[in-house]
Chain A
Amino acid sequence: MVSTTAATAATTSFVFPSTYNFPPFFTPQPNSTTRHSQLQKWSSLIQSWCRHHRTYRLSLVDAVDSPLFHNTALRKRLALAEARAVVDWMTKKEEEGGGGQRAEWIEAGGNTAPKIVAWIWWRRPEEWADVLVDWVDATGQKGVVLTVFELLQGEATVSQEFHGMDNDVMMKSLNVLVKRGKASVFGNEGEEGVKFF
């Protein structure tokens, strides 16, 4: 699962914000206040891009050539180092002057160079956990045992936003619920079951 989640064929094309057509958007701004505003705009663009394409992990090496970081019409691009700076900012807490932990670097098995692939939390695991709880409540499935596969691929969840989501993100979200005492996860890796309380 080191590779990035393939962007599912989007039914509607992504609408870029007007910032995307503003040439200076692709140059790191020397003025710190302006820079802060720029980072916020990048963060929100990356999140909505990933949300649109149902991308959970973003590989920067691939992304720098995608429309996200490369505006072919303007012939402007966000260089790899600069994209990394933006994502790095996103990983930091707001109190640290960052983007509110909307991203997280994936330290993959030691063989991938660090700060290449990152989780993009257009919804943080805690937020996904809330979505799951709401769904369980709404469908009256408290106490019912479900497999993780059912949650991700089952017919019952087709209409849900978490349907077909990244397996690791699902496990992270379920673990949040486990910590909160709202669910328990059991079974072997790859065939986990979950029970909501």
Chain B
Amino acid sequence: MSRRGVGLGAFANRTQATQSFATHGANLRSTHTASLQTQLSVFQSLLHTFALEHSSTIKSNPTFRAEFARMCNTIGVDPLAASNVKGKNGRRGLGEGGSFWTQIMGGDMNDFYFEVAVRVVELCRDTREENGGLIGVEECRKRVRKGKAIGSGLEVSEDDILRAVRSLEPLGSGFSIVHVGSKQYIRSIPKELNTDQATVLEVIQMLGFVSVSMLQLNLNWEKARAQTVIDDLLADGLVWLDAQGPEKEYWSPQNLLDDSG
């Protein structure tokens, strides 16, 4: 193939060769895509069968449910996506009506997430006064699991909570997930945390509380900067003040939640 052509004919040859390479490439690509698509659809149908077979486990076991949902996400199936986004990612193979969950397991899987979402909204609203509209996903999970009345607890994983919060997005609810340090929070008041505020919250996560001098020492902040950030957090209700120590301490209300509230 690499024999160098001689004379004028070589030019024509070269063009021809380039062309055939291109065609061949295109062929390969389309075969590849086709086979990938087949694989994907096979996988999707397997997933479908799998989901049907294990539907009861998916419903009852939060860890299993989370893993399953993760698997779905990996191959581009959003289990929660409702009918309004159908067919967006070539998901037509699974039918057009309702979400994936609805199709494979009847309405109750969606209902499950809506139920969780309702609990999350309730919890956020009930605790907004004490925590300024910022609640840890983990704390939220504990509370939803406990339930308000006897027997109303829901066995949920953090993944379920996150999924439920995301399912609220189309409603323009203003509920969002915020990362602070290693922790995830649900923000139910649409307000941005600036970098300094996030940093301080992260420090509180690690140390339990902060004071102005702690911030000065650990972050090399000037006093005014530390005080401003704390005052802002205080004004937003994100920290509580303890003035009975030698220096004012600021605590996060996240641990208050086990209260009967």
Q: Which A residues contact B (CB, under 8 angstroms)?
A: 17-19, 22-27, 29-31, 33-34, 36-38, 40-41, 44, 76-77
Contact = CB atoms under 8 A, between A and B. Distances in A.
Contact of B253 (A22, A36, A76): A22
17 contacts: A18-B255, A18-B257, A22-B240, A22-B251, A22-B256, A23-B242, A23-B249, A24-B240, A24-B249, A24-B250, A25-B240, A29-B240, A33-B237, A37-B129, A37-B130, A76-B242, A77-B244
Interface in B206-253: 209, 234-237, 240-245, 249-251, 253
A26 B244 contact: yes
A34 B237 contact: yes
A76 B258 CA distance: 21
Contacts of B241: 24, 27, 29-30
A36 B132 CA distance: 12
A23 B255 CA distance: 11
Contact of A76 (B236, B244, B255): B244
B204 to A, nearest CB: 12
B252 to A, nearest CB: 10
A41 B259 contact: yes
B249 A19 contact: no
B129 A36 contact: yes
B260 interface: yes
Contacts of A40: 129
Report the contact-size class of chain B (Cβ under 8 Å from the partner).
20 to 34
Nearest to A26: B244
Contact of B256 (A19, A27, A30, A44): A19
Interface in B121-138: 129-130, 132
A194 B121 CA distance: 50
Interface in B55-88: none
Nearest to A18: B258
A27 B242 contact: yes
A24 B255 contact: no
B253 A27 contact: no
Given A34-B129, A76-B242, 17 more contacts: A18-B259, A19-B256, A22-B240, A22-B253, A22-B255, A23-B242, A24-B242, A24-B249, A27-B243, A31-B236, A31-B237, A34-B130, A38-B130, A38-B240, A40-B129, A41-B130, A44-B260
Interface string B129-155: 110100000000000000000000000
A18 B244 contact: no
A127 to B, nearest CB: 19
B212 to A, nearest CB: 15
Nearest to B248: A27
Given A36-B129, A37-B130, A24 B251 contact: yes
A23 B253 CA distance: 10
A30 B234 contact: yes
Contacts of B240: 22, 24-25, 27, 29, 34, 38
A34 B129 CA distance: 6
Contacts of A17: 258-260
A179 B120 CA distance: 45
A176 B39 CA distance: 78
Most chain B CB within 10 A, of A29, A40, A41, A44, is at A29
A29 B244 CA distance: 12
A24 B250 CA distance: 8
Contacts of B236: 31
Contacts of B209: 23
